[in-house]
Structure 1
Amino acid sequence: MSRNVEEVEESVPTITSSSRTRIRRRPDPFLVACRCFSFVTCLAAILCIVVNIVSAVRSFRHGSDIFDGIFRCYAVVFAFLVVLAETEWSFIIKFWQVSEYWAARGMLQIFVAVMTRAFPDYFGERKELVTFQSMASYLLLACGVVYVVSGVLCIGFLKRSRQKQEITVEQAAKDLEELEKRREELEQLLLGERV
C-alpha cells in the first residue's frame, strides 16, 4: 500500500514558482470562417464600387446617359455602406444598428448587386465592362443571399455570442498573466526581505 502511495506522489507534477504558465488558445473556426466570408463580401463590394465608378465616368463623358451616371453614383454610395457594414467597427454599429442584423445586411448587398447589374450595355460597345459588372454583381448577390439565409437562421446571433466569449477568454488570459507577474514580484520581495 505504501508503495502505491509513493508511485502516485512521484507521478504528480510539481509546479515551481519560477515556471510561467502560458495559455495557448486555438482560434474559433466558426469566427475564422465568418471573417473570411466578410473579407470576400468586402472584396465583392469594392469590385462593385470600381465598376460603378467606371460606368459613371463613361456615362457623364458621353452626356447622353446622365441618369445612368447618377444611378451609378448612388450605387457607389450604397456599395460603400456595404463595405462599412462588413468592417463591423463599433462606431458604425453604434450609429447604424441595422447593420448588426445579417438579413438586413444581405438585403443591402442584394440591392447593390442589382444596382450594379442594371443598365447593361445593350449596344455592345463595352463588353469588358459588362463582363466585369456581371462578375461583381453576381458575387455580391451570392454573398447577399448567404447573409439573408444566415440571418433567418440566426447565425449572426451565434457569431456575436462567440465573439463575446472570445473577448472574455482573452481578457481572462491577460488577467491571469498579470496576476502571475504580480505573484512573482511579491515572491521576489519576500525572498529579498528574508535575506
Structure 2
Amino acid sequence: MERNGDGDEENLQRAPTRVRSRPDPFLIVCKCFSVVVALTAFLCIAVNILSAVRSFKNGSDVFDGIFRCYTVVIAFFVVLAETEWGFIIKFSKILEYWAGRGMLQIFVAVMTRAFPDTSGKRKDLVLLQNIASYLLLACGVVYFISGILCIGFLKRARQNKEVSREQAAKDLEELERRREELEALLVQERV
C-alpha cells in the first residue's frame, strides 16, 4: 500500500499479474509422436483400401479384400485413439493405456503386411504395404515399451497439471478483471 501525494487516500498500486506458462516439452513430444502415429495409420488405411479395391477387381481374392476392409476399420480406430477423443477412450478403455495402443498398432501393422502380392505384379503396392506396416510396427513397439515403463501415466499426470494451471490462470485473469471493474465503480462513487 502506498499513500498518494495528498496523504488522505490509500491507493493500491498493483502491477497486473500475468501468468506465463511455457508448454511442457514432454507433452509437445507426445503430441508430435501422436501425429506421426496418426499419419502412419492413415498410410495403412490408404494402402489397405488400394489392396482391397485391387482384390475385389480381380474377383479371385475376395477373402483378401474382406480382410483388407477389416484392417481399414481397425486402423481407423488407431487414428481415433491418437486423437484421444473422450468418446473413444470411454468406449474402449484399453486404448487409454499405451501398452494397449501399442498392441493395437502392432496388430494393424501385421494385418497390413499379411497376404503380400506374391505374383510380383504390383511391386509398388507391396513396397507401400511394407513401408506402412513397418512404420506402424515401430510406433506400436515404442508405445508398448513406453506403456510398460508407465510413460502414459506420466503424460496423463502432466496433462492434468497443465489443465489445472491453465484453469488457475483463467481464474486469476477473471479476478483481475473483476477487481478493475470494482475499483472503477468505487472511483465513480467517490466522484
TM-score of the alignment, normalized to the shorter chain, above 0.5: yes
Aligned partner of 1:22 in structure 2 is 18
Counterpart of 2:47?
A: 51
Q: In the TM superposition, what are the counterparts of 1:39-188 in structure 2 within 5 Å?
A: 39-188=35-184
Residues 32-51 of structure 1: CA distance to partner in whole angstroms, max 9, x if unpaired? Answer: 00000000000000000000
Quick check: 1:190 aligned with 2:186? yes
The code of the aligned residue for 1:120 comes to P
Distance of 2:72 and 2:154 partners within structure 1:
31
Give, in whole Å, the separation in 1 of the partners of 2:56 and 2:184.
Answer: 74
Displacement after TM superposition at 1:93 (Å): 1.0
| 2:54 partner amino acid | R
2:34 equivalent to 1:38: yes
Q: Secondary structure at the match of 1:140?
A: helix
Any gaps of 5 or more consecutive residues in structure 1? 1-14
Unaligned segments of structure 2, at least 5 residues: 1-11
**TM-score normalised to structure 1 length:** 0.90
Number of equivalences: 180
- Distance in 2, Cα, partners of 1:152 & 1:68: 34
Give the % identical residues: 72
String of CA shifts for 1:99-152, please: whole Å, max 9, x gaps: 101101100000000000111111110010011111111000000000000000
Give distance in 2, aligned partners of 1:69 and 1:105. 25
- State the shift of 1:20 in Å: 2.6
